[in-house]
Chain A
Amino acid sequence: MRLRSAALQGLGLGLAAAVLWWLARNTAATLEQNGIGLGFAFLRQSAGFDIGETPIAYSPADSFLRAIAVGLVNTLRVSAVGWVLSIALGFVLGILRLADNPAVRGLARGVVELVRNVPLLLLLLFLAATMTALPPAREAFEPIPGVFISNRGLVLPTFGSVPRLEGFNFVGGITLSPELTALVAALTLHHAAHISEVVRGAILGVSPRQRDAAHALGLSRAQTLRFVVVPQALRAMVPLLATNCVSLTKNSSLAVAIGFPDVVSILNTTANQTGHAIETMLIMIAVYLTLSIAVAAGMNAYNQRVLRPGV
């Protein structure tokens, strides 16, 4: 029995190796025909293309490696903002969906159902197209004093620096490009809708007797939620929140559809310009697997802390 199993597994491995060898031989022949070698040396060459948004210093004379680093920082930037905003909005929506008032509950449910049943990419393309169709900076909307929305993007005040219109553009504050604004907004809405379901499920999972006991002790509804229900619900939530964060980071790759230079977009440009598709795709896989594992590890560490009794 042992021998047969070993023989079968060996046979399977041999077959797989034969197929892989055939594919590798084809690849080598194609690459030779196109005059492209295999290897990562090209990363040191000058990239030659411009990048729209450079959170770290970059010019077309810099290397491909530098360009990829710019993309990676952009991905991380979008992810980090997306995590915070989608968890915050998801909590609000999740709690509103459990409100006593049926009108509030219905409104929250309507928003969640609308977002959940439409593709994220549609939301993103729609928001991006809407941003470009907005009026110019001189006629920008100002929904809250100091916050401007125009076809230049979203301008936000920072501590000690309130933006104001000067000529055709804004000075002061921070400006988010239309693409970045659309991307963050779409990711936030989509994932907040999913997170609200997680939050709702976790809160419903807390025994109603806990609530009754808190009321009996004289806690208000808000206090009950804050000190009794949410801390317990968090334990059930954290693994699912972690999954959502990882999936938000993966979904941030949709940036390529609206021309925001995230890591996937830059790797794709690199592949098209150099012909080194295999190497760039390997980098893409490595980047995302590392991100997934890092986020999972971080969330696990947090999970351990939440699960520790007495905290």
Chain B
Amino acid sequence: MRRSVSSPIDAALTALVGVVVALVGIPLIRWAFLDAVWTGSAAACRAADGACWAFVRQKLEFILFGLYPPAERWRAALAATLLVALVILTTSPRAWRRWLLAAWGVGLAGALWLMHGGVGLAPVSTRLWGGLPITLMLTAVGLALGFPLAVLLALGRRSTHRVPRVVCTAVVEVVRGVPLIAVLYIAALVVPLTLPPGAEIDKLFLAQGAVVVFAAAYLAEAVRAGLQMIPRGQRDVALALGLRTWQANRLVVLPQALRIVVPSFVSIAVGFFQDTSLVVIIGLFDLLNTARVSAQDPQWLGFHTEAFVFVGLIYFVGSTLMSQYGLWLERHLATSEGVRPH
């Protein structure tokens, strides 16, 4: 009965969607491909109806690397590759062992050395850093340092002692209660005041600190949710076997709790990858800001859409891959025991 009634409606709906897709899609394809200008000057672009990819090509190095000295850009590219490689390595549950921590330590130090220079490489001031390496670094370092801090905050929040419980609860709730922009402003405007007079602190370092604290507060709630799912008996048994509280947490409770909440870490990571774009507000040149600034070049005015579409694609591909990985991981952890963490 339902099928026979819904059939014509179904057909009409499908046709309607087809019309909508065609109305949006055909002009879009004409703009992006058929009428697009791939090489040439701004004048050639203005004469055409389509997208000005020539502009993105012209600005590609600036969008990806900001003001990083052209002769040294291979270093920024290598650092970005290193960070992506670390993330890819971490996606395999088989890699969740102690050596992964060492790999992150070495990898992050290597990426920082490549970007910053010294010890055999020409030094490059952080004021010149920009583009993709900044976005990747803020995300990767934010999550990598935020994670241990989050575990401490979550354990502290469940502590039987009053002082750590109150302090950890206050930190998590205040940071989660305010926007990331507020945390960035506090880092940029208030933190420098608390240094000894005359001391200076790097703006990128401050922004990174803000992202770490912000990530820690959000991850801490995920960890706490995991801790709550572990039956109390697990801890009691560990204590009865003679383990100290921190041993029981480290060896019995945390390994189980963290496994449960890894998928929610992934969705937090996707959010952070996108949210690092807010450092625009305090004047850092991350991927989104380099795109925005290149569209303000008086020679190339009016091509902001192309710049935003280009970096939008980078964000879209990165976020989609991460989300898909999160879904895969959830199924993987649910169906198999995977590899036991050590």
A contacts, CB < 8 Å to B: 5, 8-9, 12-13, 16, 23-24, 26-27, 29-31, 33, 99-104, 106-107, 113-114, 116-122, 125-126, 129-130, 133, 250-251, 253-254, 256-257, 264, 268, 271, 277-278, 281, 284-285, 288-289, 292-293
Contact flags (1/0) for B186-226 with A, using CB distance below 8 Å? Answer: 10011001111100000000000000000000000000000
Note all chain A residues with C-beta closer than 8 A to B185: 264, 268, 271, 281, 284
Q: Please classify the interface of chain A as helix (H, G, I), strand (E, B), loop, or mixed, using the class held by over half of its residues.
A: helix
Q: Is the CB of B288 within 8 A of A119?
A: yes
Shortest Cβ distance from residue B310 to the other chain A in the assembled complex, whole angstroms: 11
Q: Is B32 an interface residue (CB 8 A)?
A: no
Partner pick for B311 among A16, A122, A256, CB 8 A cutoff? A122
Which of chain A's residues has its CB closest to B318's CB? A117
The 3 A-B pairs at the shortest CB distance, nearest first, are namely A119-B274, A117-B319, A250-B179
Q: Provided the pairs A103-B14, A119-B277, A120-B274 are in contact, do residues A126 and B305 lie with their beta carbons within 8 angstroms?
A: yes
Q: Which parts of B282-332 form the interface with A (CB within 8 Å)?
A: 288, 292, 295, 302, 304-305, 308, 311-312, 315-316, 319-320, 323
CA distance A107 to B18 in the complex (A): 10
B contacts, CB < 8 Å to A: 6, 10, 13-14, 17-18, 20-21, 161-164, 167, 174, 177-182, 185-186, 189-190, 193-197, 270, 274-275, 277-278, 280-281, 288, 292, 295, 302, 304-305, 308, 311-312, 315-316, 319-320, 323
Q: Is the CB of B278 within 8 A of A122?
A: no
Q: Provided the pairs A107-B17, A121-B278 are in contact, do residues A264 and B312 lie with their beta carbons within 8 angstroms?
A: no
Partner pick for B315 among A5, A117, A271, CB 8 A cutoff? A117
Note all chain A residues with C-beta closer than 8 A to B10: 100-101
CA distance A9 to B156 in the complex (A): 12
Q: Provided the pairs A104-B17, A121-B280, A254-B278 are in contact, do residues A281 and B186 lie with their beta carbons within 8 angstroms?
A: yes
Note all chain A residues with C-beta closer than 8 A to B195: 26, 30
Q: Is the CB of B196 within 8 A of A26?
A: yes
Shortest Cβ distance from residue A42 to the other chain B in the assembled complex, whole angstroms: 15
Which of chain B's residues has its CB closest to A25's CB? B196
Which of chain B's residues has its CB closest to A108's CB? B17
Q: Given A121-B280, A271-B185, 16 more contacts at CB 8 Å?
A: A9-B163, A27-B193, A100-B6, A116-B319, A117-B270, A129-B304, A133-B304, A250-B180, A253-B179, A257-B278, A264-B185, A281-B189, A284-B178, A285-B174, A289-B174, A293-B177
CA distance A292 to B194 in the complex (A): 28
Note all chain B residues with C-beta closer than 8 A to A264: 179, 181-182, 185
Which of chain A's residues has its CB closest to B188's CB? A277
CA distance A278 to B274 in the complex (A): 28
Shortest Cβ distance from residue B311 to the other chain A in the assembled complex, whole angstroms: 7
CA distance A12 to B128 in the complex (A): 40
Note all chain A residues with C-beta closer than 8 A to B288: 119, 121-122, 125
Which of chain B's residues has its CB closest to A120's CB? B274
Note all chain B residues with C-beta closer than 8 A to A31: 193
